[in-house]
Amino acid sequence: MKTGKAYLYSSLRPDERQEKGFADFLIKRYQQDLELIWVNEPELDHGFRLEVGNDIYDWSPEGLFRQFRKTVERRSTEKEDIIPLLKDALSSWELSALPEETGTVRMVGDGIARISGLENASYGEILLFEDDSRGMVLNLTDEEVGCVLFDTEEGISAGSVVRRSGRNAGVPVGEALLGRVVNPLGKPIDGKGPVQSFGYRPIEYAAPGIIDRCPVDTPLETGILSIDSMFPIGRGQRELIIGDRQTGKTTIASDTIINQKGKDCICVYVAIGQKASSVAQLAENLRKHGAMEYTIIVAATASDADPLLYIAPYAGCAMAEYFMLQGKDVLIVYDDLSKHAVAYRTISLLLDRPPGREAYPGDVFYLHSRLLERSARLSPEKGGGSLTALPIVETQAGDVSAYIPTNIISITDGQIFLESSLFFAGQRPAVNVGLSVSRVGGDAQTKAVKKAGGTLRLDLAQYRELEVFNQFASDLDEETRKQLVYGQGLMRMLRQNLNRPYAHIDKVIILCSALSHALDGVLLEQIPEFLLQLTDGFKQTYADVCRRIDSTGDLTEKDRETIIRYAGTVNEQWLTQKQSQTE
Ligand code: ATP
Ligand code: MG
């Protein structure tokens, strides 16, 4: 099977012998069997131009002449004859990536370089340095070009020659990346050898337009009861996970990835500025749950240079887009965008851009909007794929009105707000039901979950109100006391251990039962055990009902009654059993 593509441009189609020559060259250079695609380019009336990923080879007379001139200029002294030199150049001539316009480094340091002489360089273009390291253009002024460096700056000094590549930054994409941990340039960092993939995509790409999109109406189940029941996420949606440090943000994302097992959804996890050990731990956790098979981890760790942190989410998005355009469903997690914004701020300040609010540059909104806009649910004509994004943002002391959080809240289709006080009180996942929202709403739920959990948000809102009112009251009337107990039961029901996603049917059974007061009388600390007994028992007794609910995704009134009746009897049995135990 061909593992990638190489494009050959010329005005005349190459003959068989030439084609074989190119194929041999590709195998020798890349050690891979690449598919050679010919593109008619009327302007190239002599010779060929070959493009493989980021590399361009020029086989035209101009290209050859440029190479000869370089050799001659390097070696010529006034006394020497030009002919032997030319002969020499011809014999030592070797095809190499295109040297087009060249510039000179004026200053290098702190991961950036300023270069003069590159008049035609464009924003985002890759520049090639003498020592084979790469940089990306981020600043264009009349006199010079500012670029960020992806490798160490050891081999670069003032006066070094820089070449334009004519290409914007791209990363390898393809199935071969699944199960791997790579850096934002697509190089594997998990010690499992090279990635055998040769599809390339630019890291920056225009988001799908309005016509190409379709409404978000298919659920992407996280397996987390509090999210799936109240803030459902649909395929193609962007849902922000926001909260202070250590409130379980990453856990929600990784649990969602684990829950996609067997659901035909590819996952990309982008780690930005995290400790390498945390990323390794996460990869190990996913592997343990069999989730690495369909997951790519793109990691720019805290020790990497800021430019790598800056491109990481775009690189991950390009890898995800590849699958979306093939009609697949993809989930991407950006963990986290606050660190991304900080990396971009550092780069911008080094490039002398004027600082704005909180010292972020003026275009920090665009930084994230162009990234998150690339998430979409494509129309059937475009293959029907989807890209769901779960960006993560860290707040300081719960302040959601800081610059970056407000920006991203306004870009996304809702947020899941995690609160430290809930987390420390043991309410995990620490979802704040009042402040969280999903703007896609019930469209992104199966009818069954929607019907089963319909009043949950309202009931919890009432409970919160009562709770505040009765904080200091000593004698409560019976009705209020019952409502409080009911609310406490619901809150306890929403607690969920990590790495334990609920199946669809479990959610329906639990929601139906709890909202019909089946938790009444059960001691709070016994609720998890009770729920386990209830779901297991129901699934055994009514296997056909469960099958029907799962296959249709709907809950008929009759099935609902069956669940409620069953929950009632389990509740009765539980209470009598516990009573006899205490006696
Ligand atoms: P950071 O700000 O460091 O990125 P975070 O907000 O991503 O942290 P996590 O790393 O997901 O938080 O979780 C913090 C800790 O809380 C972890 O040790 C995790 O095991 C624990 N934790 C998270 N969710 C739960 C849960 N539902 N039940 C029990 N423990 C949990
Ligand atoms: Mg985290």
Q: What angle do CA 290, 296, 298 make, to 5 degrees?
A: 135
Q: Quick one: pLDDT band at residue 96, thresholds 50, 70, 90?
A: low
Q: Of the candidates 424, 445, 466, which is a domain's last residue? A: 445
Q: Quick one: pLDDT band at residue 554, thresholds 50, 70, 90?
A: very high
**Residue 38 amino acid letter:** W
Highest mean pLDDT among 67-76, 90-99, 102-111, 238-247: 238-247
Residue 1 has pLDDT above 60, yes or no: no
Q: Which residue has the higher pLDDT, 441 or 458?
A: 458
pLDDT in tens, 470-497: 777 677 788 888 999 999 999 999 999 9
Q: Quick one: pLDDT band at residue 21, thresholds 50, 70, 90?
A: confident
Residue 186 domain-assigned?
no
Q: Quick one: pLDDT band at residue 581, thresholds 50, 70, 90?
A: confident
Q: Are residues 327 and 254 in the same domain?
A: yes
Residues 6+ apart with CB under 8 A from 81: none
What is the set of active-site residues? 439
Distance (Å, rounded) from C-alpha 71 to C-alpha 76? 8
**What is the DSSP secondary-structure string of 159-200?**
T-EEEEEEEE-EEEESGGGTT-EE-TTS-B-SSS-----BEE
Q: Are residues 264 and 368 in the same domain?
A: yes
What pLDDT is recorded for position 431?
Answer: 96
Q: Of the candidates 383, 414, 445, which is a domain's last residue? A: 445
Q: Quick one: pLDDT band at residue 443, thresholds 50, 70, 90?
A: confident
Q: Are residues 358 and 272 in the same domain?
A: yes
Residue 350 domain-assigned?
yes
The share of the chain scoring above pLDDT 70, in percent, equals 92
CATH number at residue 477: 1.20.150.20
246 CA from centroid of ligand 2 (Å): 7
Mean pLDDT of 89-102: 60
| Alpha helix (H) residue ranges in 470-556 | 478-494, 504-515, 527-541, 543-552
DSSP 8-state code for residue 36: E
Q: Are residues 431 and 463 in the same domain?
A: no
Q: For residue 465, what are its two tokens?
A: 């109100």
553 CA from centroid of ligand 2 (Å): 33
Ligand nearest 418 Cα, by number? Answer: 1
Q: Are residues 394 and 466 in the same domain?
A: no
Lining ligand 1 with CB less than 6 A are: 245-251, 394, 428-429, 496-498
Mean pLDDT of 455-465: 93
Residue pair 124/315 in contact (Cβ under 8 Å)? The answer is: no
Q: For residue 50, what are its two tokens?
A: 């070959």
Atom of ligand 1 minimally distant from the CA of 251 = 11
Number of domains into which the chain is organized: 3
Q: pTM of the entire structure?
A: 0.84
Residue 407 domain-assigned?
yes
Domain that holds residue 564: 451-582
**Lowest pLDDT segment from 36-45, 163-172, 381-390:** 36-45
Q: For residue 504, what are its two tokens?
A: 């669809």
498 CA from centroid of ligand 1 (Å): 8
**Of 245, 498, 499, 500, best ligand 1 pocket probe by most atoms within 8 Å of the beta carbon:** 498
pLDDT in tens, 334-350: 999 999 999 999 999 99
Q: For residue 442, what are its two tokens?
A: 């019930």
HSE value, Cβ hemisphere, 13 Å, CA-based, for 77 = 2
Q: What does residue 129 show for φ and ψ, rounded to 5 degrees?
A: -95, 170
Residue 90 domain-assigned?
no
Residue 314 domain-assigned?
yes
Distance (Å, rounded) from C-alpha 405 to C-alpha 430? 18
Residue 45 domain-assigned?
no
Residue 84 domain-assigned?
no
What pLDDT is recorded for position 103?
Answer: 86
Residue 343 domain-assigned?
yes
Query: Residue with structure tokens 């989930």?
Result: 331
Q: Extract long-range pairs of 359-366: CB within 8 Å, 24+ residues apart.
A: 360/403, 360/404, 364/403, 364/404, 364/407, 365/407, 365/411
Q: Of the candidates 445, 475, 498, which is a domain's last residue? A: 445
Q: Quick one: pLDDT band at residue 75, thresholds 50, 70, 90?
A: low
Residue pair 118/94 in contact (Cβ under 8 Å)? The answer is: no
3-state secondary structure of 317: helix
Q: Quick one: pLDDT band at residue 56, thresholds 50, 70, 90?
A: confident
Atom of ligand 1 minimally distant from the CA of 247 = 6
